[in-house]
Structure 1
Amino acid sequence: MLFDSPVLAPPEEVRQEWIDFNGHLNMAYYNVLFDHAVDHLFTKLDCGPEYIEQRKLSFFTAEAHVRYVREVHAGDMTRCSLQLVNHDAKRLHLYQELFHTDGWLSATSETLLLHIDMSVRKVATIPDDIREKIDALAAAHQSLPQPAMVGRGIALKRQQP
């Protein structure tokens, strides 16, 4: 199985109904665009909607860190890239970048996904056939540099009195 390095989701237009009162993309819809890119990846890994229906397995987001770099507006065309940073038997660590199709960076997202047995809604080991595909994705992404934003926290240092 061959994967792009990084995986590129299809371009997507910013919809008017996603615009907030500040006149730009509402922060919640950045996550929608990032999630659509993850859905694109899951289709390639054979763990999309049919994975839930047939095997009663899925992935849940456990943690996400979005960084807003430059605003996008209604009608703007965007494209999301996705890199597998790390993985183990039950988790995926992803890094994504949302670009305007003119080439500039709009936002980044770092997420930790848990593999879930939907029959009990608990974390479960990824099946071997899916794990092989994830390993192939990891091999394709192995030569990508570690993104500088990975692992960053949010902090505002307290002023000393």
Structure 2
Amino acid sequence: MSETAQSGHDGPYAAPIEVRGHAVKPEWIDYNGHMNVGYYGVAFDLALEEMVGDHLGIGEVYVNSAGAGPYMIQSHIQFQRELLDGDQFYFHFRLLDHDHKRLHYFGQMFAEKDDVLCATQEGMIMNVSQATGRGADYPDWVVARLAQMLADHKALDPAPQVANPIGIRRKI
């Protein structure tokens, strides 16, 4: 396990953390003429990798040195507006909670052209040992960074999509 950070930073962290520079690829377009549902997950994953690597230091560099890394164990994507071929988009991420081996985050995807919300993702990530395939405690420096990020994100307004259940809403 890596006892010292090799990437990322100790904060303070922007609230929310912004990740820019993404665009819909032609191969992501489905027969309806918009970005296919599966590629929203790919886009969130690519941006999340930037966020956890560049800010928390638990991306690829961490995995290679620690023998453990972030595994997505739960994800809930909500679709708000379609994206079309070539549309540029960006993300906002916030940390909602964490413990010694998991982090709970919320991400928002916005259209670059008009800053309209296109999708949200709420997810849970667990640090998993590559040797055992089981959950593993983060080193102290990661837990300290998660605590700092959580403190920096506490003042953000709550997002209505967080913890939103799936179900058919019926009028009674």
TM-score normalised to structure 2 length: 0.88
- Secondary structure of residue in 1 paired with 2:20: coil
1:11 offset after TM fit, Å? 2.4
Aligned length: 160
In 1, Cα distance between equivalents of 2:57 and 2:97: 19
- Alignment-derived partner of residue 157 in structure 2: 145
Could you list the structure 1 runs, at least 4 aligned residues long, displaced by more than 3 angstroms after superposition: none
Is the 2:71–2:127 contact (alpha carbons within 8 Å) kept by the matching residues of 1? Answer: yes
- Alignment-derived partner of residue 76 in structure 2: 65
Aligned-partner residue type, residue 150 of structure 1: V
- Alignment-derived partner of residue 16 in structure 1: 26
In 2, Cα distance between equivalents of 1:125 and 1:55: 11
Aligned-partner residue type, residue 33 of structure 1: A
1:49 offset after TM fit, Å? 0.8
C-alpha distance after superposition, 1:49-100 (max 9, x if no partner):
1111111010111111100110000110100110101111121111111000
Tell me how large the CA RMSD over aligned residues is.
1.6
Give structure 2 stretches of 5+ with no counterpart.
Answer: 1-10
In 2, Cα distance between equivalents of 1:20 and 1:51: 35
Give structure 1 stretches of 5+ with no counterpart.
Answer: none
Partner residue of 2:45 out of 26, 32, 35: 35
TM-score normalised to structure 1 length: 0.94
In 2, Cα distance between equivalents of 1:157 and 1:38: 31
Is the 2:69–2:127 contact (alpha carbons within 8 Å) kept by the matching residues of 1? Answer: yes
C-alpha distance after superposition, 1:23-45 (max 9, x if no partner):
00011111111112211111121
